Amino acid sequence: MRQYVALFLAFIVAACSGNGFSERQRALVLSATVGGERVPSSGIVRDVPVDKCEIVLEFSSEVHVDALSVALLQFSGGDLEARVGEDASMLILRPVEALSPSRKYTLTVLAGESFGVDIVEPYTLAFTTEYDRTPKFPEITDEKLLTLVQQKTFDYFWSHGHPVSGLARERLGSGNTVTAGGSGFGIMTLPVAVERGFITRAEAAERLRTIVTFLRDKADRFHGVYPHWMNGETGRVIPFSSKDNGGDLVETAFLLQGLLTAAQYFDASGEADIRAGIDAIWRAVEWDWYTHGGQKALYWHWSPDQGWAMNMQINGWNEGLIVYVLAASSPTHAVGKEAYDSGWARSGGMRNGRMFYGTVLPLGSDLGGPMFFAHYSFLGLDPRGLKDAYASYWDQNVAHARINHAYCAANPKGHAGYSDACWGLTASDYPKGYTASSPTNDRGTIAPTAALSSFPYVPEESLKALREFYYVYGDRLWGEYGFYDAFSLDDNWFAKSYIAIDQGPIVVMMENYRTGLLWRLFMQDPDVQNGLSTLGFTRAELAH
């Protein structure tokens, strides 16, 4: 009969020769398994079912539970029961009390005399228990779930927008700090909200009128270019860093992408003032100034007192494609193909062409980088059938999303929770601050915006993620404005933050997947069409 010993009752020092342990063998822990899974060199096993938390330690010699010192076993989950396996070098441990889901537990075997041997080196393992997968909300149809997510996420811009300027606050709780790029994304949610019935057209037009008036008449501009951050009440620049206190061309491009899209939607006679205001803002942007004196590239930043101190060319491949498209599209300060080819495309240097997880990646860094590369420029810029000398942009973005998904499904670093249905690495908050997560900068943090904004590219994989985020993790991931920014099951951490640049793409790209609305609006702008032609883009009408 197998003998079980509760560790909290056992404390036998077996020093007498009568027990047969007077000459103890020296021993080491050779290996361990938790829940049947071998503990890797990193010392941690992920997602162990709470009812399968059996720990098996393999020693280098036979052990004896009747010579057990509880002081040499430290388990963060409380007391353990122990028995020797059929192989006498195996010690089998089970928690006495039920463990909690989604928690990290550690077990340390200290050096010293125990189990009838002299343990010469301490050994520590860790494991996390599986998240409670009980559905957190009643099941609804996928279509209703998509609409629910769009509506709740849109409300970040609608209810949390700045009361004076109407612009998007940088993040939840950022007070007067509003963001140019995030506001552009938020502006693009307005047509979605009208079409989906979240607000009326009149309400949307009035909000947009407030935004346009503030941007045209009150906000700081630097050769027509807005700062990354500004005060939503006064319009004055808020420095993003000590040298970044002037114009930010990338953020301005995101803002203009939203404004030009909105100008196409709000086309009624009573909305002419909105279109006129947007046109004035559009024409005032001096894209050519940001060539830093006529260089064959665009530069990200300029300020009156710092000049070109940031010294950042906008080179591809990243989120900056829209900057060059709009610069070429400008009716007043256009920058042409030479800068695009030499500066953005780096004379072909942005090409990749290697295969990752069975998918060829046309452009950019290995494994694709953060997912926002496939989102920010493509909220309005329609990649379907869009090609130039360097790539098919539909193929590029689909490949990027597939690789990001495949990486998370493979989970080479063994992070808790990663799976075929729980994926998405992009810029977001994480337990230690903020980072641009990617397969080459994997901090164990999933950001819902990465998968949800990829619906047009990998709809099946994105839908799996949507269901996982809502039904499995929704008790801690779902809040007032939809999904919180990010979560890490390694750290049992769920953000309580919302960030404008992560919220906006969810609403917009979901709608582009469902109806193509924002793609259709932006691409019908005559200036944009001219700019794409100037840069050598071609478009084929494809069904996706």
CATH classification at residue 12? 2.60.40.3710
Q: Are both 174 and 119 inside the same structural domain?
A: no
User: Has residue 109 been placed in a domain?
Assistant: yes
User: Has residue 543 been placed in a domain?
Assistant: no
Show Cβ contacts of residue 27 under 8 Å, excluding neighbours closer than 6 positions.
Answer: 59, 60, 61, 63, 115, 117, 118, 119, 120
Residue showing tokens 């007043």:
332
User: Has residue 134 been placed in a domain?
Assistant: no
User: Has residue 378 been placed in a domain?
Assistant: yes
Show Cβ contacts of residue 458 under 8 Å, excluding neighbours closer than 6 positions.
Answer: 398, 401, 402, 405
Using CA atoms, how far apart are residues 181 and 162, in angstroms rounded to an integer? Answer: 15
User: Has residue 412 been placed in a domain?
Assistant: yes
Q: Which residues of 213-251 are buried (b: 16+ CB within 10 A; e: fewer)?
A: ebbbeebbbbbbbbbbbbbbeebebbebeebbbbbbbbb
Please give the full DSSP string across 333-349, using - where no structure is assigned: S---HHHIIIIISGGGT
The residue among 129, 162, 190 that closes a domain is 129
Using CA atoms, how far apart are residues 219 and 226, in angstroms rounded to an integer? Answer: 8
Q: Are both 152 and 210 inside the same structural domain?
A: yes
User: Has residue 500 been placed in a domain?
Assistant: yes
- What are 74's strand-pairing partners? 108
Per DSSP, helices labelled H in 114-200 are 142-159, 180-196
Beta strands 90-95 and 80-84: pairing type? antiparallel
Q: Residue type for 131, please?
A: Y
Q: Residue type for 318, please?
A: N
Length of the chain equals 544
Q: Are both 125 and 154 inside the same structural domain?
A: no
The residue among 100, 129, 158 that closes a domain is 129
8-state DSSP, 163: T
Using CA atoms, how far apart are residues 375 and 488, in angstroms rounded to an integer? Answer: 22
Query: In the 3-class helix/strand/coil scheme, how is 194-248 assigned residue by residue?
Result: HHHCCCCHHHHHHHHHHHHHHHHHCCCCECCECCCEEECCCCCEECCCCCCCCEE
Using CA atoms, how far apart are residues 146 and 470, in angstroms rounded to an integer? Answer: 11
Show Cβ contacts of residue 403 under 8 Å, excluding neighbours closer than 6 positions.
Answer: 356, 357, 359, 361, 367, 368, 439
Q: What are the pLDDT tens digits along the chain (544 aa)?
A: 333 333 333 333 333 333 444 457 899 999 999 999 999 887 788 889 998 899 999 999 999 887 777 678 999 999 999 999 999 999 999 999 999 888 889 999 999 988 889 999 999 999 989 999 999 999 999 999 999 999 999 999 999 999 999 999 999 999 999 999 999 999 999 999 999 999 999 999 999 999 999 999 999 999 999 999 999 999 999 999 999 999 999 999 999 999 999 999 999 999 999 999 999 999 999 999 999 999 999 999 999 999 999 999 999 999 999 999 999 999 999 999 999 999 999 999 999 999 999 999 999 999 999 999 999 999 999 999 999 999 999 999 999 999 999 999 999 998 889 999 999 999 999 999 999 999 999 999 999 999 999 999 999 999 999 999 999 999 999 999 999 999 999 888 999 999 999 999 999 999 999 999 999 999 999 999 999 999 999 998 644 4
User: Has residue 544 been placed in a domain?
Assistant: no
**Domain total in the chain:** 2
Q: In terms of residue numbers, what domain contains 202?
A: 142-538
Cβ count within 10 A of residue 270: 10
What pTM was computed for the model? 0.89
User: Has residue 135 been placed in a domain?
Assistant: no
